[in-house]
Structure 1
Amino acid sequence: MPRETLADLFADFGRARGDFLVHDNGFRSWTHSYAEVAAAAEAYAARLQAAGHRRGDALLFWSENRPEWIAAFWACALLGVVVVPLDHRSPLDLVERVGTKVSARGILLGDDVPARPDGQAGAIPAWRLADLEWGTHERPVLDRQPLPDDVLEVIFTSGATAEPKGVIITHRNVMANVVPVEREILKYRKWGRPFFPLRFLDLLPLSHMFGQALATFIPPMLPGMVVFVRGFNPAEIVEQVRRRRISVIALVPKVLEVMREHVLRRFPETAVPPPAGEHVARRWWRYRAVHRAFGLKCWCFVVGAAPLDPLLEAFWGGLGFLVVQGYGLTETAPIVSLNHPFAARRGSVGKAIAGVEVRISPDGEILVRGDNVTRGYFGQDAAEAGVFEDGWLRTGDIGEVDEEGRLFVRGRKKEMIVTPEGLNVFPEDVERVLDVIPGIRESAVVASPGAAERVHAVLVTAPGVDPEAVVREANERLADHQKIRGVAVWPGPSLPRTEGTGKLMRRAVREWLATGGAVTTPQQADGVAGILSRYAHGRPLSADTTLEELGLSSLERVELMVALEEQAQGPLDEGRFARARTLADLQCLAGQPADADTAAQWEMPSWSRSAPARTFRRLNLAAWVLPAVRLLARAEVTGLAHLASLRGPVVYAANHQSHLDTPLILAALPGRLRWRVAVAMAKEYFTPYFHPAGAAWWERLSRGPLYGLAALFFNAFPIPQREAGARRTLRYVGDLAADEHSLLVFPEGQRTDAGEIRPFKPGVGMIASRLRLPVVPVRLEGVDRVLHRTSWMIRPGPVKVRFGKPLVLAGDDYGALAGRIEQAVRELGERDAGQGGGQAKGSPSGGGA
């Protein structure tokens, strides 16, 4: 059928089969099929309609990549609501200014944005994307189908300190990209069926049009599956590619550069390029260890949003990977030209796609014309914008076209800086901030010398002014992508300017910088101390401050390690991190990348989830283990009504009295919930199993086998309290939840002496919050009298097991969340637990351990 609007594409989209979107937040993954996304989009469109949103209203999207973003985007496309996407790292003041400019009716928030705790993004009404409901089948009542010239979205490309400028994108613009790509895919789709679904790892931001195309429009044509992950840790990316059998990675050049450094550290042999002209099959075999690390199915990198360094392209091509790049702008929705995957030419950005015309102006500028080109900017007509000439879009880039029609981009005509992350920086935005700092007489901002464009400042200062201090002050006011990475002091009394008009001669400044200008790199603020201060609760920090003084739980240490890795853009040695005791130790560690072979020498008990183990466990628990427990501990069970509505995995958080706690709770659970529970246990208790060389023979003989029995009979898994491996455990917990296993945790971390309840550790808050799992409080009473922690003698008697209302928690104050869970457990002993069912009040997500 003809393709004129996204509604036509959505009609086929809803009929596609299989999984479409996977979201991995570093702790747990969620998978949604094409049908689920289509149903969620229609239901969300109906919800927006009921809330009063109409065709032409603007809705801001301020979020990291996630499936709810895609569902909400399609909802807006169907309803006619204009999408205004913003990078999740955008500062709040920019969001508010954009919202004011487009008269936004609301804003959709992700989890990784600096929104206010009350859920508001300034004065704009806000809704959390995490609250989007899956599994509903409500449809909107549409007044009409979208038309080709209806506005689909407005994308703002300017910096955070100037008046934002929004590019208007219509359905016609997007379909001018979609249709020719789909026609090309259809030529080869029958040959690709044995390899479907083609899996994409999309590391491009959805606020960028190229990221949208590769996550939203292209995969349904194949069909394909798209994976979103949190962060850009190269080791995590490689592991995700291997585990999820990714074929294509879509990313910006900066991430590809970080991955190259990771590969060079892990596989030193890759520093030696292959012989010139060597066949790709021989290159693949030569570097087969790299391909094994990527999982053998990965074969292609699709690079966009910023210029690609030819040396970076040559490195990955030399390893046997295909690197596909194209050329485009936000104004072209976004593709102008694209390398064909089976006929790519190194150094070229490919041929213009069907329906798009490209020509080179007499001064070398690339000009573009076609239905993909925007009609102008929000609140500004095409003539005022000054970028259109006789129907052609002036791109501001210098290029040339060879005899085969391949486009080569040679440089930038306009002054905008495009960072390696694909974000635009306008020099004037940064200069406005610099020029108001005391002691600055003039400033010029240019791209740094070299292949990767970074923001460099050239200053004319008053005597005695420290340029590094100026940069630090400016960076506090600038958005992340605008921050100044290098600074130089101009040798003369004023910057070079043209005669008469006094226009800054940036080219002269760049040439001076490239040919020996005195450049210094501003020192970064001590990020380790800044990150650790989150856990200090106002206490002063010094190099000798110990982690023990801060009282960090094992899972808080995981959170700390993740934050340090995000700052370092690379993995840390988890073993050495576990041995770190002071702030000074962490500062030393943060500057040293992890070795490839420093993984902890122990494995999670995945065998306990195998079919034979599950069968053995179910038969034995039902046949004799649980009946024996019921005989020894005569349980009065209350609160089962609270469990009646449970669907999917939860966290059972119980006070800890005895070794009998686990089988007693399993015996009390309804049958439908009992058989998919995994039990957390302290890894250090089973040290002789994991590290037999350091244990006495009698310890190996006693506690060693106990681990295997606990894993076999109770699906138990270890949580290290002090040593390395807590992060791996948290990842395993996420896998359990994704596999529909509930968790049983004892947040006190130790058994009681006389029935008292000790403070709950914050880890339970982290697990539930990060994994978005409801928490069921469980109160045990009298179990310590049946089997005390100091005795192996069982004294049969009565016990009580009380289940409370599920708590749905949210936030990153894990101590406070753990306190709420602890209070709920305590209250179960203070009132009749048999009343009511239902759901306790709270905001999404909580956790424990």
Structure 2
Amino acid sequence: MHRNLPQTILDLVGDRHGLVAMRTKIDGRWQDIGWLNLARQVRRFAAGLMELGIQPGDRVAIMSPNRPEWAFADLGIMACGAVTVPIYHTEGAEAAAYILDNSGSRAVFVRTFEDLRKVESRLDQLPDLEHIILIEGTADRQPVLDLKHFLPERVDEQAVNARMAAVAREDLATIVYTSGTTGLPKGAMLTHDNILSAVEAAAETFHISTDDSCLSFLPLSHVFERIDGYYFMLIQGATINYAESIDSVPANLQEVRPTLVISVPRMFEKMYARVMERITSGPWLKKQVFFAALKACTRELHLQQQGKPVPGWLARVCGLARARIFSRLREPLGGRIRFFVSGGAPLAQNVAEFFLAAGLPIYEGYGLTETCAGIAANCEGHVRLGTVGRCFPGTEISIAEDGEILIRGRTVFQGYWQDPARTAEAIRDGWFHTGDIGTFDREGYLRITDRKKDLIITAGGENIAPQPIENSLKQDKFIANAFVFGNRKPYLVALLVPNFENLEK
């Protein structure tokens, strides 16, 4: 691909004019958004921004939960040569104002009047902000426009196409703010080439087509969902279904029956806990059958992981178990799931092992905002439990002497917005220093052991990685979260957050 991101997506319309690009629920009914409508809306949003005087290189923010208008605005911003600045809609007024001010955003899309009030309460701190575009509701007062007044009925397609054609693949596409562990948020600068390179690498790793569909519920302001659950899905032709809210995900899964789900480990941990709770509290016979089947499938999995042959009788038993017993795990998920992808945090190995043994693979991956999300992942036919898989094509990974993971390649960001000091600290000698500690096994699978800054040095000088201990504690159904600390102490201490739902049972 040699074109920019919006061109790459809109170029696909000709072959997909009869297909559904997105679906959203309105007044209790799922509504289809075809590819022709998607292209029309992107050009309308681009034209609206151009009429407001938005110029190439200007920053335009989006503060909204996942919905089609998020994508229309995002692609429209980039189509007119501007730069998208995503902001979590759950951010407080002060945090949102910092991002708007630091990025110098000239316009911002907000979903509701509540979001509007957050921005308006800090207008005196935002000298560059000229326009606020309200997605839901009616408003026509400076500096606020609703969609009715913002979107032109007639679009000068020639002008929009000319502006879009002038955007180079190497141009800045987005600034994604990431807070890290200390200090003010940093704006990671990602180009069209960064994003498209990430999509191309993912396409070589995962087979996704127009036969697939996904449910979008992780925030689009996060680079994981944005790259892999939005751009990648659109370019591959999968239908994106927007969840009504995070609370509606269980119901929406059954309604849209996706073939793919991208999520963070917490969702899979909750699924695992619910299954175990239901089985252990059920009838004795069903419990014995379930765990006997699980034991057989886990044995088969261990043999496969060790590269040893699986006896024919065991393969037949496991096939029967997955068809008759574990197939029921798919029902609450809509019944069509092919696989899950997990990222954003470490996935507990026992959870990954359970679902893989049951025939519902969770492919764990690894990436950062600064690398355009994934740079390594497990995938079909290439799974090593306890690792985040092999690195993607086009990415180089090196392990420094102190164990830190270093990355270089076309997906690595251009630096932090207006922050040369932190950019120089992060990118040295052409390598991005991730701050994560890891190792490779003999077959090239990457294992993440901890964050460099999280390593605990006890009073006795011992280096201890807290993450494995925390993950072990969180496997207890009565513990929702755990934090281990003990720097310069002769012992470790754990702060535990109870799982009140299970405790109350």
TM-score normalized by the length of structure 2: 0.77
Q: Equivalent residue of 1:43, what SS?
A: helix
Q: Deviations over 1:597-647 (max 9, x none)?
A: xxxxxxxxxxxxxxxxxxxxxxxxxxxxxxxxxxxxxxxxxxxxxxxxxxx
User: What residue in structure 2 maps to residue 126 of structure 1?
Assistant: 132
Deviations along 1:456-490, one digit per CA (max 9) or x if unpaired, are: xxxxxxxxxxxxxxxxxxxxxxxxxxxx97899xx
Query: 1:74 & 1:288 partners in 2: Cα distance?
Result: 39
Query: What is the match of residue 11 of structure 1?
Result: 10
Q: CA deviation at 1:333?
A: 0.9
Distance of 2:483 and 2:352 partners within structure 1: 29
**SS of alignment partner, residue 277 of structure 1:** helix
Q: Answer whether contact 1:24 1:30 (CA < 8 A) is retained.
A: yes
After superposition, residues 85-484 of structure 1 pair within 5 angstroms as 85-111=86-112, 114-117=114-117, 120=120, 122-123=122-123, 124=129, 125-130=131-136, 132=147, 138=155, 139=157, 140-141=159-160, 142-143=162-163, 144-158=165-179, 162-183=183-204, 196-233=210-247, 236-268=248-280, 272=291, 273-275=294-296, 276-278=298-300, 279=315, 281-285=319-323, 286-381=325-420, 385-415=424-454, 450-451=470-471
* In the alignment, structure 1 residue 48 sits paired with structure 2 residue 49: yes
Match of 2:82 in 1: 81
Distance in 2 (CA, whole Å) between partners of 1:204 and 1:223 is 19
Aligned mates of 2:45, 2:455 — CA distance in 1? 37
Specify whether residues 506 and 22 from structure 1 end up closer, same or farther in structure 2 by C-alpha distance, changes over 3 A only.
farther
Residue identity in the other structure for 2:190 = I
Unaligned runs of 5+ in 2: 124-128, 137-145, 281-285, 301-314, 457-465, 475-479
Quote how far apart the aligned CAs of 1:197 are.
Answer: 2.5
Per-residue CA shift, 1:325-384, capped at 9, x if unaligned? 211110101221122234222222121111110111111111101111112101122675
Superposed, 1:460-539 pairs within 5 Å as 507-508=487-488, 512-514=492-494, 519=495
Deviation at residue 404 of structure 1 after TM alignment: 2.2
Whole-Å separation in 2 of the counterparts to 1:296 and 1:7? 33
Deviates more, 1:352-361 or 1:25-34: 25-34
- 2:434 alignment partner, SS class: strand
Structure-2 residue corresponding to 1:619: none
What is the CA distance between 1:135 and its match in structure 2? 11
Distance 1:77 1:510, change over 3 A: farther
| Structure 2 CA distance for partners of 1:60 and 1:447, relative to 1, 3 Å | farther
Partner Cα separation in structure 2 for residue 308 and residue 448 of structure 1: 11
Counterpart CA distance in 2 for 1:378 and 1:453 is 38
Evaluate the alpha carbon distance shift between residue 297 and residue 486 of structure 1 in structure 2; reply closer, same or farther with a 3 A threshold: closer
| Cα distance per residue 1:118-149 (max 9 Å; x no partner) | 98363154222345479966235344521122
**The residue matched to 2:246 in structure 1 has which SS?**
coil
Tell whether the 8 Å contact from 1:153 to 1:170 is kept in structure 2 after alignment.
Answer: yes
Which letter does structure 2 place at the counterpart of 1:156?
A: Y
Distance of aligned partners of 1:10 and 1:295 in 2 relative to their CA distance in 1, 3 Å threshold? closer
Q: 1:164 to 1:26 in 2, by over 3 A?
A: farther
Tell me what 1:64 maps to: 65
Residue equivalent to 1:767: none
Select the structure with the greater relative contact order (CA < 8 A; seq sep ≥ 6): 2
Change (3 A) 1:260 1:148: same
Cα 1:137–1:226 change in 2 (3 A) is farther
Structure 2 SS opposite 1:321? coil
Whole-angstrom distance in 1 between the partners of 2:345 and 2:114: 26
Per-residue CA distance 1:803-844 (angstroms, 9 max, x = gap): xxxxxxxxxxxxxxxxxxxxxxxxxxxxxxxxxxxxxxxxxx
Q: Whole-Å Cα distance in 2 between the matches of residues 9 and 20 of structure 1?
A: 14
| Cα distance between partner residues in 1 of 2:167 and 2:195 | 13
- C-alpha separation in 2, matches of 1:216 and 1:374: 19
Could you say what secondary structure the match of 1:147 adopts? coil
Q: Alignment length, in residue pairs? A: 441
SS in 1 for 2:388: coil
Structure 1: 5+ residue runs without aligned partners?
A: 418-445, 455-483, 489-504, 525-567, 571-590, 594-849
Counterpart for residue 311 of structure 2 = none
Aligned-pair identity (%): 24
Structure 1's 408 and 45: CA in aligned 2 closer, same or farther, altered over 3 A?
Answer: same
Deviation at 1:207, TM superposition (A): 0.7
User: Aligned partners of 1:101, 1:79: CA distance in 2, in Å?
Assistant: 21
C-alpha distance 487-170 of structure 1, shift in aligned 2 (>3 A) = closer
Structure 1 position 265, deviation (Å): 4.2
**AA partner of residue 379 (structure 1):** Q
What secondary structure is seen at the aligned counterpart in 2 of 1:325? strand
Displacement of 1:27 after TM fit?
4.4
Paired residue type of 1:115: D
| Residues 705-724 of structure 1 aligned to structure 2 (within 5 Å) | none
Structure 1 residue identity aligned to 2:240:
V
Residue equivalent to 1:630 = none
- Which residue does 2:461 correspond to in 1? none
Q: Residues of 1 paired with 2:26 and 2:277: CA distance?
A: 26
Secondary structure of the residue aligned to 2:193 is: helix
C-alpha contact (below 8 Å) 2:111/2:135 kept by paired residues: yes
Supply the distance in 1 between the matched residues of 2:168 and 2:74 (Cα, whole angstroms): 17
> CA 1:231–1:216 in 2, change beyond 3 Å: closer, same or farther?
closer
Residues 249, 451 of structure 1: alpha-carbon distance in 2 compared, 3 angstrom cutoff: same
Please tell me whether Structure 1 or Structure 2 has the larger radius of gyration of its CA atoms: 1
Q: Which has the higher strand share?
A: 2
Change over 3 Å in CA distance of 1:406–1:369 after alignment to 2: same
CA distance in 2, matches of 1:229, 1:510: 48
> For residues 416 and 64 of structure 1, what CA distance do their matches in structure 2 show?
35
Change (3 A) 1:260 1:51: same
Distance 1:223 1:217 in 2: 10
> Is residue 267–residue 290 contact of structure 1 (8 Å, CA) maintained in 2?
no
Contact 1:44 1:132 in 2 (8 A): no
CA pair 176-405 structure 1, distance change in 2 beyond 3 A: same
- With over 3 angstroms needed to count, the CA separation of the structure-2 counterparts of 1:33 and 1:511, relative to structure 1, is farther
CA separation in 2, counterparts of 1:374 and 1:522? 38
Q: 1:240 to 1:397 in 2, by over 3 A?
A: same
Residue type of the alignment partner of 2:193: R
RMSD: 3.5
SS of residue paired to 1:378: coil
Contact 2:449 2:467 in 1 (8 A): no
Greater Cα shift, 242-251 or 23-32:
23-32
Going from structure 1 to structure 2, the CA distance change for 1:178 and 1:3 (only over 3 Å counts) comes to farther
Please report the TM-score for the alignment, with normalisation by the length of structure 1: 0.48
